[in-house]
Structure 1
Amino acid sequence: THGAAGLGDALADVLGHRLDPTPGSAGGTEPRSLWTGPDRWLVVSEQLDRFALARRIREAGPCPTLVTDLTDGLPAIDLVGPRARELLAHGCPVVPADGQVARTLLALQPVTLLGEAHRMRLFTDRGLVPFLWDWLARHAPLAAA
């Protein structure tokens, strides 16, 4: 958005919450807005139609607001269980607390992590999924010990 004034207010009706400009914040429940950098959020939804959501954001946002649908290129891997954070800690310098977001590296690969009470959600480029999935499988025994 490059500092588009009023973006948080403009999207409140679409998202059901104001965008939180606090670094590492995660706002809302469905959809969620994940702070990924100054004036940048990743909006994720498990229920809403992606095309309709992108259109509604584009129409509601002040100019200039860039909206890009990353659905096909930024899959999520959910790590569930009491040792998910320990597993990530083997290859990641930052593991976010519940309700927090971190843009970081996992096994030297760029990821966005969302900490939730029941899971750690990892977003990464589609091309990195096989590598990270293999890394997670190889390191899972370390977290189970």
Structure 2
Amino acid sequence: MERRQKVLDYLDRTGIPYEYYEHPEAPTIEIARQYWHDDGSKHCKNLFFRNHKGNRHYLVVFDCDRQLAIHDLEHRLRQGKLSFASEQRMERYLGLRPGSVSPFGLINDLENHVHLFLDQTLRDQPALSFHPNDNTATVVIRHGAFLQFLESCGNSYEFIELY
């Protein structure tokens, strides 16, 4: 609840509009599907990676209905060998736990260490949906407001072709 409130407070403080609803715990896309509202937003899958040396971290966001192979992702991102970041790294850089990863974790990355890769197909979506750093709720945010959020965080990000 505290993590969720921090996101909602941040969005309110920065004047970023959003919609919000609560639901039972949903740590996976498969579980979350049963709670999603028919609101016209694209629900996203969010994966947190580290490079081979462990000195760079990447949040990868894409359409939840698509699948990505890590080998293909390594080729597309051109960041060398990737592996999933540990729970400790997730907590350190994004202030998150597994099952609640989302771009809203960037509010906890005060050093702007994490680079965000977003699939280019998300540009065409009128709204996106993410957990607000807590998997018992969903935030729906219009595309323009989401870009405003990213700018306010200050992390580097780019839209690329992931598949």
Query: Considering the TM-score relative to the shorter chain, is it more than 0.5?
Result: no
Which TM-score applies when normalising by structure 1? 0.28
**Larger RCO (CA under 8 A, 6+ residues apart):** 2
Which TM-score applies when normalising by structure 2? 0.26
Larger Rg: 1
